[in-house]
Structure 1
Amino acid sequence: MTVTYIGVRHHSPACSRLVAATIEAIRPAHVLIEGPADLNHRLDELLLGHRLPIAVYTYYRDDERVHGSWTPFCDYSPEWVALTVGRSVGAEVRFIDLPAWHPAFADRRNRYADADHRYRAVTERLCREFAVDNVDTLWDHLVEAVPDDELAERLTTYFDLVRGETVAGEDDRAREEYMASWVRAAGGPVVVVTGGFHTPAIRALAVGKGPWPEVPQPPADAVGGSYLVPYSHKRLDAFTGYQSGMPSPEYYQRLWEDGVGGAADAMVEEVVVRLRKRRQLVSTADLIAARTLTSGLARLRGHEFPSRTDVLDGLVSALVHDDLPQPPPWSTRGTLAPGTHPAIVEMVAAFSGERLGRLHAATPLPPLVADVTAELERLGLDGEGPVTLDLTAELARSRTLHRLRVLGVPGFERRSGPSSGADPVLDEQWQLTPDDGRLPALIEAAGHGATLASCAASMLRSQIPQAGIADLATLLFDGALCGIDMEVTAALADGIATAGELDALGHVLATVLGLWRHDRIFGTAGSPAFEPLIAAAVDRSLWIMEGVRGGPAPAEPARLRAVVATRDALRHAGSVLDISRSTALDVVARIAANADAPPDLRGAACGFGWSLDAEVDAVGALAGVSGPRIVGDWLAGLFAVARDRVLSDDRVIAVLDDVVSGMSEEDFLIALPALRQGFSFFPPAERETVARMVVDLGGGSARSLLRAEVDPLVVARGMALEATVDRVLAEQGLL
């Protein structure tokens, strides 16, 4: 039996050309391809006539793990070319790798993730030898830009070298032994197309003859399946996080269609067009310079035609005239870093491309797609544009939209609506937008269920085991919005008992208390299941509050919201608490008097007691607060918890006026940011009330105080600068 092995790099046009030429020359009886063997009976579905890129999405779920992964194909994927060309010459075409749900793929979300770290030492040495930045540039230099008659030898040498110094892991060995068993079973001339890392091992293992291997089946208690999904060049691009194959898929698409020279010319033009659309000035001279530099770099690097990095480097040299804060992204690997130059962002986007796949109309789709389509039509949500929902009358429509939201289906954006159970808002604003990503998202979500309701429930519940307590509270509220019983009370109780962060605990308490107090719309008001959670969260919050220490620092809004939630529980849910009001007030009184506690927490503790009508002298406490670095944060705490009392007692504003009036310009500048943050707790209408109190003290117009044309902080800094200038001039005898 004659076996021809072709080791490939996934999504390499050069490898695809070699695969096509080899199959057409040999016209083998069998073409065996690295791909999921459980898809062999569905190859006709794969070849219906889709517009690539597409992917096989596989989902799997059992008691121990949940898995979702993709097997992507584009026009220039060697596996796709082997499949289509093999069929065209009459060969028996089969995928020979383990199914994507198999434990060998447990840590992979993409079958073709080469995990270059396995042979990093070899490729790093080669990069040094050839003076290139990374494996992508090395690959272009050694493979993509060379004549076709040199490809086979180069690929064999490259992958033998790479694998020769690398020990495969247990998962790779399992896959390679399985793929070798298919080779042993095939008769007649055979072409085997697999990832180059695996090819040397498969060649060594595929000795002798054997029966056709069994295709592994999922355990009886597991749920799983595979569907075709539309894919996109953006999802294939290494610069957007794709783990395998080639970056810049649009460039390689052009290379596949037009050759190396044609790809270079096309991408220079594409980048210029994108930049001009962004209103970036790119002159004809710039374009000539880009082409000249690109060609010069190619010659300098020994390339007959410009490679991908030649084009990108030439474009940067010609079009970017600023100092770059970091090396260009193609000199490394991975996603774009924050702060990347805007022109480089556009270059990367142009080389990534906008190409979207499309499935043939006859492609089987999961039941979820039909269920969602019917549901949207029935509820009149299948159009586009803004949608306003009255939650008291249109709860079903709201739940449908929220279920799509938690599934991550694009095109359904919630603009406004209740953010917690305590939020008095009774309407929602949504924006419905057609989106090419909607079908792929629904197909991929179908692993969680056949209907929208069951799918959303499964998606949310699957997040419970890994969620922290703040995330659990968010899941609880999402469940209420979706009309799903989340069954998270046990997990929340455990989280509350061990919580160490006041911020997260406050979020939990505010969410649970709001649902318990108000949500008759969502059916959670007065739920007995929430009462132990409220009691435990109040006890834990007070305990954590009393242990917080820290000097002057910016007030922490999340911490202050936790104090508000605890106060609200004392005010509205006292009957379900384990702690008495008097005991809670004793705790906050100790915090308010503790000089080691952060100023914002001390102010909040003072407001806590004052808002519950305890005998608290908030006015006297404010008068005793000293120092510009403290007063603003202390007031932020007081205002966050006791806004209503401040508005009904003008003595606080009067004392604050005295405190601020007594500050030097320098101290006022120090205090101003924290003071502004403190007053931000008042909504606009209440700020006008405060302004009126200030006017009553000194005269003027309340509205004019709120409509200053210049930022007060700018004014204060200007005053401080003037004072500094005057002091320096005086010291130098110039005044």
Structure 2
Amino acid sequence: MTGPLLLGVRHHGPGSARAVRAALEAASPAVVLIEGPPEGDALLALAADEQMRPPVALLAHAVDDPGRAAFWPLAEFSPEWVALRWALGRGVPVRFIDLPAAHSLAPAAEEESASPETADGEPGPPAGAEPPEGGGAGAGAPGAGADSVDPGGPGPVGPSGVAPLSGQPPEGGGAGAAGGPEATPGAAGPAGTLAPDGGTPGAQGGDGAGPHTVGPEHERGAPDPSGLRIDPIAVLAETAGYDDPERWWEDVIEHRGTAAHAADARAPFAALGDAMAALRETYGHGGHDRDLAREAHMRIQLRAARKEFGDEVAVVCGAWHVPALEEKTTLAADKALLKGLPKVKTEMTWVPWTYRRLARHSGYGAGIDSPGWYGHLFGVADRPIERWMTKVAGLLRDEDRLVSSAHVIEAVRLAETLAAMRGRPLAGLTETTDAIRAVMCEGSDVPLDLIRDRLVVGDVLGEVPDAAPAVPLQRDLTRLQRSLRIKPEALERELELDLRKETDAAKSRLLHRLRLLSIGWGEPVTGRGSTGTFRESWRLRWEPELFVKVAEAGVWGTTVLSAATAKAESKAVSATALAEVTALAEQCLLAELPDALPVVMRALADRAALDADVGHLAQALPALARSLRYGDVRSTDTVALGEVAAGIAERICVGLPPACTGLDADGAAGMRGHLDGVHTAIGLLPKGRELIERWGSVLHRLAARDTVPGVIRGRAARLLLDDGRLEEDEAARLMGLALSVGTPPADAAAWIEGFVGGASGGGMLLVHDERLLALVDAWLSGVPADAFTDVLPLLRRTFSAYEPGVRRTLGELVRRGPAAASGPAHAESTMPGFGAGLDGQRADAVLPVLHLLLGIDDNDLAGVAR
């Protein structure tokens, strides 16, 4: 080597990764420098551990604020990962040279003022800092993050564009820069196209090796929409006559052959460096002003490495930085650029990453569309298209689709033909997808969604060795995961638990404790089986961001139990609303936190004694009632909880009738919901006959009081009827009064909504009680025309909740009119549609069937029937 070997790459590219490996093999440098946070140098040796399985990421977070964190993801096909493994495998020193994470994660002045640019023109968030799910971006310090445009990668290309070399692709495969059949989100147009800050057309959305920042501070540091950035790939592609920058990158860079001799291994990088130098001469830093501090730090580290090792130095970085590293500057000038940067104390470790987090459409703003496709191209030794089509065929066969070997052969031929017709050197993912759609999917995009999800993106989750540094809480969580045999997985899965089994109960406790700590590994879902309290269903999915959540939760304790207990106690003390404390009590019982429960119960008793709002009390009671049900299956002492719940129920019985008077429509609708919740809760409380009778009296008063809104009166009457506390004749009388001529149509419609509305089986009640249906029909037929428009929305809302079959049956009954009573069984009937008594002859007809089912003789069966 006659000087530093500058390998400008575009991150996450199989062709670029192979080219880097070939260049390193040819040059055999004495040291390898990689774009990345220098704090990670102490962790680099772990990359050679047998337990390390990419994709993985370096995670850095501020010690005092773990939520301020950033990831540096690496996949097996990342050039940086290939360079790192090459150096470790040969005992060559390897170092990171980017701006330290201590500066990247420090709160910057512009964050304090909620503005991405300071008064003196300090640049905004770092180029390409990857936003977390839901938005936000930027690490908040100059030079933080990664390149918004890091186009690099080897290839015979210059500013005017050069045709790709002929020959087979590296190890039999090529890769598209964007890697997906979908329209690239950053597709760019003509040369010199400028993109708003935070997004670059035609690039991969940013630098996949740069930090993926998370935390509320970074969300405040949103990119400045007025800043403009140049996309070098768009410029080079348009110069070469391409209208799609991604297709240009595939053809010229990724689809290049490996026929070059070792002596020529450096030439592609030199050509790409020249192209970037020409662009930077024209556009300067191209709007990437945050990179100035980063590049100054890289030059300082490069000088130090050359002083120690001479010119036998190899640098793997984004191609956009190559001209800056070749720039002739003084050490003093570079240090001046770094002077005064804010700094925080940080910690760093390796964490598993996922293919989905490398994919743009999953919210990872600087990733690639097709990590599964890239991994396939990098991993196969030869015939990548044939092997890919075979994978797709296997997936479709597993989904019971008829795909034969002939389909595979024809799809390969079609993909190669499409590539030739489009003037491409090799078939990429676009051609293979088009061929699969036409041959294997019969022109349908529905199976393609499955292929994209399972193969093009994939559900791969990396692994890190046990020796990787971790906060104590993370180590305790890992220990529990192993002992309970619930391995974190990137693929979403269902977990059914039977709490009568000790292992399942322990899993439930762990998941509930993690939810209390805001670590959303598991989400409770409605199970398919029993609705008893001894069964739970969870939906599990591990995301890389949960490592940050674990680090944040580490401030509460060193174990999951101690951390959950401390946080529950803190929330109980700080809670101001009664419903918050009752929900917290329920969480403590589910998570089995006996030390926190006394604190929560004291807070609950205090809030309940001071809160006189009946709505708040009614909102709090259901959670307490549910909590009391957990006592049996979880062996938890709920005596104190039962006393508080009984006291709240008594106060509701006293205060609910006056609270239901004088309400407007919205208030009445809310109180109706509270009425349902309290009714269900009182049924779950320990069976105190006096309390149940008292609640029945409250419902009777609500049903009969004219000053109570109609929706509440109707609901009270329905609850009484369902509980057998209201005779059908009385229910019909109340409905007749509510639907009388003197009642305003809007109030009558509200009563009907309360009585038969919602998913409470009101439709079936009307189907089987023709007298109630006749009352409703007669009232509706008599509503004046001028009032009908006002009541129609209420009626539509009431009856639209019924199932289609119920609505159809009601329509048929109304069309036929009231059923005529006939026959001896109906001679004494006083209610249309119902008989006066039991029809013994019809009842006896079921006896032979019962005889077969129960296996008893006719005499015993007749005795049972009598």
Q: In which range does the TM-score fall when normalised by the shorter chain?
A: 0.5 to 0.7
Distance 2:31 2:662 in 1: 71
**Alignment partner of 1:119 is 2:200:** yes
What is the alpha-carbon distance in structure 1 between the residues aligned to residue 327 and residue 461 of structure 2? 39
Larger radius of gyration between Structure 1 and Structure 2: 2
Residue of structure 2 aligned with 1:562, choices 674, 677, 688: 674
Rounded Cα–Cα distance in structure 1 between residues aligned with 2:50 and 2:239: 44
Matched, 1:227 2:336: no
Mapping of 1:388-537 within 5 angstroms? 388-390=498-500, 398-403=508-513, 407-409=519-521, 415=527, 426-429=533-536, 445=550, 448-449=553-554, 450-456=558-564, 477-484=586-593, 485=596, 510-511=622-623, 521=637, 525=641
Q: Which residue of 2 aligns with 1:166?
A: 286
Q: 1:544 to 1:621 in 2, by over 3 A?
A: closer
Asked if 2 retains the 8 angstrom alpha-carbon contact of 1:69 and 1:108, the reply is no
**2:429 is matched with which residue: 290, 298, 308?**
308
- State the secondary structure of the residue aligned to 2:6: strand
Gaps of 5+ in 1: 325-340, 420-424, 576-580, 595-599, 681-691, 705-735
> What SS does structure 1 have at the residue aligned with 2:383?
helix
CA gap 1:175/1:617 in 2 versus in 1, 3 angstroms = farther
Deviation at 1:371, TM superposition (A): 3.4
Letter of the structure 2 residue corresponding to residue 638 of structure 1:
F
Structure 1 counterpart of 2:499, which letter? L
For residue 53 of structure 1, report the CA deviation from its aligned partner: 1.0
- Equivalents in 2 of 1:71, 1:140: separation in Å? 24
What SS does structure 1 have at the residue aligned with 2:29?
A: coil
> How big is each residue's C-alpha offset from its partner over 1:320-340, in whole Å with a ceiling of 9 and x where there is no partner?
33465xxxxxxxxxxxxxxxx
Structure 1, 269-278 or 99-108: larger mean CA deviation: 99-108
The answer (yes or no) to whether the contact 2:4–2:315 under 8 Å persists in 1 is yes
Asked if residue 637 in structure 1 is aligned to residue 638 in structure 2, the reply is: no
Letter in 1 for 2:462: G
Rounded Cα–Cα distance in structure 2 between residues aligned with 1:696 and 1:527: 47
The aligned amino acid for 1:371 is D
Q: Does the 8 A contact of 1:113 with 1:245 survive in 2?
A: no
* 461 and 14 in structure 1: CA distance in 2 versus 1, 3 angstrom threshold: farther
Give 1:293 deviation, angstroms. Answer: 1.8
Shift of 1:306: 1.0
State the one-letter code of the partner of 1:22.
Answer: A
Name which of 249, 270, 273 aligns with 2:371. Answer: 249
Whether 2:462 is the aligned partner of 1:357: answer yes
For 2:570 and 2:63, how far apart are their aligned partners in 1?
Answer: 11
Contact 1:515 1:524 in 2 (8 A): no
Name the residue aligned to 2:821. none
1:345 matched to 2:450: yes
CA distance in 2, matches of 1:377, 1:285: 45
Is residue 550 of structure 2 the alignment partner of residue 548 of structure 1?
Answer: no
Instruction: State the partner residue of 2:254.
Output: 144
Higher relative contact order (CA 8 A, sep 6+): 2
Q: For 1:237-386, what aligned pairs fall within 5 Å after superposition? A: 237-258=359-380, 262-322=383-443, 324=445, 341-353=446-458, 355-360=460-465, 363=468, 367-368=472-473, 371-372=476-477
- Partner SS for 2:351: strand
The 1:161–1:147 alpha-carbon spacing in structure 2 relative to 1, beyond 3 Å, is farther
Find the aligned partners of 1:258 and 1:380 in 2 and give their Cα distance: 33
CA distance in 1: counterparts of 2:745 and 2:448, whole angstroms: 45
Q: Residue in 2 aligned with 1:728? A: none
Report the equivalent of 1:658. 774
Give the partner amino acid of 2:476. D
- 3-state SS in 2 of match to 1:40: helix
Instruction: Check conservation: 2:496, 2:527, Cα contact below 8 A.
Output: no
| Shift in Å, 1:275 | 0.9
Q: How many residues align?
A: 641
- Over residues 357-383 of structure 1, what are the superposed CA-to-partner deviations in whole Å (9 max), with x where a residue is unaligned? 34446556654465357657989999x
Q: CA deviation at 1:634?
A: 5.0
Q: Secondary structure at the match of 1:546?
A: coil
Shift in Å, 1:349? 1.9
Cα distance in structure 2, aligned partners of 1:590 and 1:133: 74
* Residue range with higher mean Cα deviation, 22-31 or 467-476: 467-476
Provide Cα deviations, 1:296-326, integer angstroms capped at 9, x if missing partner: 22112222221222211222232333465xx
Q: Structure 1's 247 and 475: CA in aligned 2 closer, same or farther, altered over 3 A? A: farther
Identity %: 22
2:35 partner SS:
strand
* C-alpha separation in 2, matches of 1:113 and 1:351: 25
Equivalent position amino acid for 2:735 in 1: L
- Asked whether the equivalents of residues 592 and 605 of structure 1 are also in contact (C-alpha less than 8 Å), the reply is no
> What secondary structure sits across from 1:244 in the alignment?
coil
> Cα 1:65–1:113, aligned 2, differ >3 Å: closer, same or farther?
farther
Distance 1:360 1:392 in 2: 30
Structure with the bigger percentage of helix: 1
Superposed CA deviations along residues 382-437 of structure 1, whole A, max 9, x for unmatched, are 9x997533599997775335335664446999959999xxxxx5533568x9x996
SS in 1 for 2:394: helix
Distance 2:467 2:503 in 1: 39
- Helix, strand or coil: the match of 1:83? helix
Cα separation, 2, equivalents of 1:109 and 1:20: 32
Read off the aligned partner of 1:350 and give its amino acid letter.
L
CA RMSD of aligned residues (A): 6.5
Deviating more after overlay: 358-367 vs 583-592: 583-592
Look up the match of 1:337.
none
1:102 to 101, 105, 117: 105
Q: Which residue of 2 aligns with 1:422?
A: none
Residue aligning to 2:300: 181
CA distance in 2, matches of 1:414, 1:534: 31
* Residue equivalent to 1:14: 15
Aligned equivalents of 2:402 and 2:63: distance in 1? 56
1:269-300: per-residue Cα shift (whole Å, max 9, x none)? 21112112211122444333312221122112
Q: Distance in 2 between matches of 1:664 and 1:108?
A: 56
Asked if structure 2 preserves the Cα contact closer than 8 Å seen for 1:32 and 1:93, the reply is: yes
For the structure 1 residues 365 and 181, does the alpha-carbon distance in structure 2 shift closer, same or farther, using more than 3 Å as the test?
Answer: same
